[in-house]
Amino acid sequence: MITSLITFLNSFTPEFPALLLFFFSSLMILTMTRFFGKTGLYVYGALAIVIGNIQVLKGTHFLFWENPVALGTLIFSSTFVVTDTLTECFGSSAARRAVGLGFMASLFVTVSMLLTLGTKPLDIAITDPDFHFVTAHNAMMVLFTPSAAILTASLSAYLLSQLLDILIFQKLRQSSGKRGLWFRTSVATSIAFLIDNTVFSVLAWKVFSANPVSWHSLIWTYILGTYILRIITLIAYIPIVYATCKIIRKHLYAQP
């Protein structure tokens, strides 16, 4: 059934599952905020950074961009909804805590999976009924072997961009008060996106890569290609920031 669903989704252009992912991530943010409050945002942010690090290993072609675009953009972008909402409603210290939790979650998953891969796999024939364990090991090798370099690049970019986003957002909030949530979200996040894309791409696909991509591919596929998509997602996620803040203020009595 799962394979059939994947095949069905593959019959559409990449924009369709991307749109579904946007709606699903937005729904999860709102649902986890409504039922779990600040804790729900912490959990979502930690999960999102882990999932995004896996998704970024896959690329696709979107209709609006001629070069391949690395996935993970939607999920990574949604982490800024978390930090902007926390900064707006609970203050910058709560947002920084979410960033720290995301960092630790990525570190935990990466080290755990490296130790899992370091456990000697079964040495059995393909006809053995337990050969699915070998297949799973090989699949995990593909997903998690590059994660040491990816983790270093991702967490460096993640920490720098998220902390910068929180700093800019907080400064803008201090100068504008409750007004202009859309403005401080747009300014802080768009700057943070560019920093995140640039730092991650240079480290992951140039500095730490065994087979560095060309500068053309680095700039147009990994930096600008995903940055354009991130700006689109930023605009789409702004109503989610408003909705999340409204839920918090209505049900959780956050700071004004």
**What tens digit of pLDDT does each residue of 21-71 get?**
999 999 999 999 999 999 999 999 999 999 988 887 888 888 777 777 778
Select from 24, 44, 77 the least CA-distant residue to 234.
77
Residues 249-254 have a mean pLDDT of 74
Task: Using alpha carbons, list the distances in angstroms from residue 129 to 1, 117, 122, 194, 235.
Answer: 21, 21, 12, 49, 50
Look at the block and give the residue holding tokens 């859309």. Answer: 182
Is the model's pLDDT at 146 over the cut of 70?
no
Q: Is residue 50 part of a domain?
A: yes
Per-residue pLDDT of 147-162, as tens digits, reads: 667 778 878 999 999 9
Average pLDDT, the chain: 89
Q: Is residue 194 part of a domain?
A: yes
What's the number of CA atoms in the CB half-sphere (13 Å) around residue 233? 28
Number of H helices, E strands in the chain: 9, 2
Provide the domain limits for residue 162: 17-107+153-251
When divided into structural domains, the chain yields a total of: 1
Domain at 27, CATH number = 1.10.1760
Q: Is residue 213 part of a domain?
A: yes
What are 41's two structure tokens? 């945002």
What is residue 207's three-state secondary structure? helix
Q: Is residue 120 part of a domain?
A: no
Q: Is residue 124 part of a domain?
A: no
Q: What is the pLDDT of residue 184?
A: 95
Q: Is residue 36 part of a domain?
A: yes
Per-residue pLDDT of 170-187, as tens digits, reads: 999 998 877 899 999 999
d(CA 96, CA 62): 33
Q: Is residue 81 part of a domain?
A: yes
Asked which of 86-90, 128-132, 163-167, 205-209 is least confident by mean pLDDT, the reply is 205-209
Taking the CA atoms of 99, 18, 202 and 205 in sequence, report the sign of the dihedral they define. positive
pLDDT over 70 percentage in the chain: 97
Per-residue pLDDT of 103-114, as tens digits, reads: 999 889 988 998
Is the model's pLDDT at 253 over the cut of 70?
no
Q: Is residue 186 part of a domain?
A: yes
Q: What is the pLDDT of residue 256?
A: 46
